[in-house]
Amino acid sequence: MTTDRTPDRSRRSERSRQAILAATRELIAESGYAKVSIEAIAARAGVGKQTIYRWWSSKGAVIFDSFLALSESADGAGIELPDTGDLAADLKLVLRATAAEFADPEFERPIRALNSALIHDPELAARYRETLARPVDEAKKARLRSAQKSGQLDPAADLDLVSEMLYAPLFQRWLLRTGPLTDEYADALVDNTLRAFRP
Amino acid sequence: MTTDRTPDRSRRSERSRQAILAATRELIAESGYAKVSIEAIAARAGVGKQTIYRWWSSKGAVIFDSFLALSESADGAGIELPDTGDLAADLKLVLRATAAEFADPEFERPIRALNSALIHDPELAARYRETLARPVDEAKKARLRSAQKSGQLDPAADLDLVSEMLYAPLFQRWLLRTGPLTDEYADALVDNTLRAFRP
């Protein structure tokens, strides 16, 4: 988009950028966050380390953008939770799917890498909230608002709190490996959270 | 304790070990997990890198033991939650204190460092559960069991689930910096979790 670049240079630049992001995702999937280095990413992408540092300030920043690129290439039209009219059934479906995703080794490494980067970097964490977490949070709250309208959830409930009580235990169990992520566990989270916020 | 060491060597060894653990805690407090290296720990402790690698396999392992040493030097007699007979009041006290601790910058860096090490290392995570998390979990569950006996909590409630619904939202909010850690938030977690598990 800048005027001081010829179309060719710009295209080459974009190719390098995509190669770096793809190399980052591959390396994380192969060996996990701790073992991925800027050097390894540069070697895999076939670029110099300086090329990476021109665009990103840290390993965490490259990792973050490698995730962002994935979510951009997916359908950007917005996320929606199922709404069959039965809140408990819909949430159980979503939480069971989330539990299964967490248990999937393919998903495991990249998402641990992302979380590790977020823990130490408040700036990345803010970008994460804005660009990746917010659309998902909004989708969850839209479903909860619909349930408030249909009388299945306390109309005065704090929807951030409801959403955290539903999802945070699952997240913590997975992150710290403190218990099994089963369908039964997902169902129990839904049943008990909804009991707390009955109209 | 080994027979092939003279008392002097053994004392020197223990001094080095303690110096390494203290240096690790200092460095984490000063600059956070990402910037702490085995080299920096060795330099601060006045030992060679090999001395560290003789006892620990990774940075995460040293960090973990630097925490464990702290908890060992504290009173090992066991942790107990307050039990005034009023479950909601006791839990609010504990959750408010937990929220305040999370918000304390002194606590912030070391505990982020520990969590980052745990995310990527299932073996450390298992040691964490056994040696650091379990005594705290047991104390929480003992308080909940006492409430079951006095009729303040559903006697059939899964106490792991109750404990996770109480604490995981606080942990996640702090870890991902997704919201303020206030007394009001701590109280809302207690009130809503107890509503879900009313007898």
pLDDT in tens, chain A (199 residues): 445 556 677 788 889 999 999 999 888 878 777 778 899 999 999 999 999 999 998 888 888 888 777 665 444 456 788 999 999 999 999 999 989 888 877 777 888 888 888 888 888 889 888 888 888 899 999 999 999 999 999 999 999 999 999 999 999 999 999 999 999 999 999 999 999 999 9
**What one-character DSSP code corresponds to residue A28?**
H
Chain B contact for A156, CB < 8 A?
no
What ipTM, to 2 d.p.? 0.80
A168 class by beta-carbon count within 10 Å (0-12 exposed, 13-18 middle, 19+ buried):
buried
- The pLDDT tens digits of the residues spanning A13-70 come to 889 999 999 999 888 878 777 778 899 999 999 999 999 999 998 888 888 888 777 6
Residue range of the domain that includes A11:
7-57
Query: Rounded to whole angstroms, how far apart are CA atoms A60 and A69?
Result: 14
Query: With 50 as the cut, is the pLDDT of residue B62 above it?
Result: yes
Chain A contact for B197, CB < 8 A?
yes
Tell whether B65 is covered by a domain.
no
Query: With 50 as the cut, is the pLDDT of residue B56 above it?
Result: yes
CA distance A49 to chain B (A): 19
Query: Rounded to whole angstroms, how far apart are CA atoms A109 and A112?
Result: 5
The token duo for A163 is 């959403």
Whether residues B137 and B40 share a domain: the answer is no
Q: Which residue has the tokens 């040493």?
A: B69
For the domain that residue B139 is a member of, what is the CATH number? 1.10.357.10
Mean pLDDT check: name the lowest of A55-64, B152-161, B163-172.
A55-64
Whether residues B53 and B95 share a domain: the answer is no
Mention every residue, 6+ apart, whose C-beta is less than 8 A from residue B136.
B79
Whether residues B92 and B54 share a domain: the answer is no
Q: Which of B171, B178, B196 lies at the smallest CB-CB distance from A172?
A: B171
Q: Torsion angle of alpha carbons B130, B135, B141, B146, nearest 10°?
A: 150
CA A72 to chain CA centroid, Å, is 12
- The pLDDT tens digits of the residues spanning B138-150 come to 999 999 999 999 9
The token duo for B183 is 């007394």
Share of chain B above pLDDT 70, in %: 91
CB contacts < 8 A, A to B, total 105
Tell whether B46 is covered by a domain.
yes
Chain A contact for B126, CB < 8 A?
yes
For the domain that residue B23 is a member of, what is the CATH number? 1.10.10.60
- Counting the structural domains of chain B, the total is 2
In angstroms, the Cα distances linking B157 to A127, B94, B136, B198 are 38, 20, 19, 9
- The pLDDT tens digits of the residues spanning B86-142 come to 999 999 999 999 898 888 777 778 888 888 888 888 888 898 888 888 888 999 999
Angle CA B188–B192–B196, to nearest 5: 170
pLDDT for B173: 95
Whether residues A39 and A121 share a domain: the answer is no
